[in-house]
Amino acid sequence: MAKEAVFVSGPQIPPSSLETFTEQVPPEMTALWRDHGLGDTADGYLRIVDPARWLDVLAEVAPRFTQGVPLFSSALGDLFVWLDGRLHLLEFRKGTSRILTKSMATLKVIAAYESFLNDPDYFDWAPWPEARARLGVPGPEECFGFTPILALGGRPAADSLQLVGMREHLLLISSVAGPLS
């Protein structure tokens, strides 16, 4: 049997969010919210989010995904959005989006293996371990952002990462590079 990612529990998700979004997401996600709240896995790289906190930003930076439900963020400023029975990975730093999986169970398995976390076809966390060692783990509303942003010629290297507010960083990328489509 494949191992699954171990989630560290965080603050509880607000009851209003649980009530609003439970019917829109797979039961496994509701279980994660109930069991781990706004916790994380992969040494703080993958963080469970309160969807209600991200809907306004999502509408501005990725209008194609406004019918989706934000479920996770990454420490590199990615959002994971559940839409049409699939988990989409929105990689704002690269200006790309793609379907990651149709199954929350699959996500819990791939998030447990560093080979998947480092693989560009999955999470592409390459600069994360070095940045984490240098800067620590970003808080729930923070991420590491490339400075300058990649759309302005920044280098995709760990020494180009700085701790930034995630919401502001995504809005900055969108204002420079345009909304993610």
- Asked whether residue 41 is assigned to any structural domain, the reply reads yes
Element (H, E) at 17: helix 15-21
Residue 126: predicted pLDDT? 86
Residue 2: predicted pLDDT? 67
- Asked whether residue 65 is assigned to any structural domain, the reply reads yes
Which alpha helices (H) appear in 62-148, and where do they start and end?
A: 104-110, 114-118, 128-135
Asked if residue 180 has pLDDT above 70, the reply is yes
Range of the domain at 71: 15-177
pTM score of the predicted model: 0.94
Distance CA 173, CA 47 (A): 20
For the segment 106-112, the average pLDDT, to the nearest whole number, is 85
Q: Which of 56-65, 75-84, 107-116, 123-132 has the least mean pLDDT? A: 107-116
- Asked whether residue 28 is assigned to any structural domain, the reply reads yes
Residue 5: predicted pLDDT? 85
Residue with tokens 């993610």: 180
Answer for the pair 86, 99: CB distance below 8 angstroms, yes or no. yes
Answer for the pair 6, 41: CB distance below 8 angstroms, yes or no. yes
- Asked whether residue 150 is assigned to any structural domain, the reply reads yes
Counting the structural domains of the chain, the total is 1
- Asked whether residue 139 is assigned to any structural domain, the reply reads yes
- What percent of the chain clears pLDDT 90, i.e. is strictly above it? 83
Distance CA 39, CA 155 (A): 30
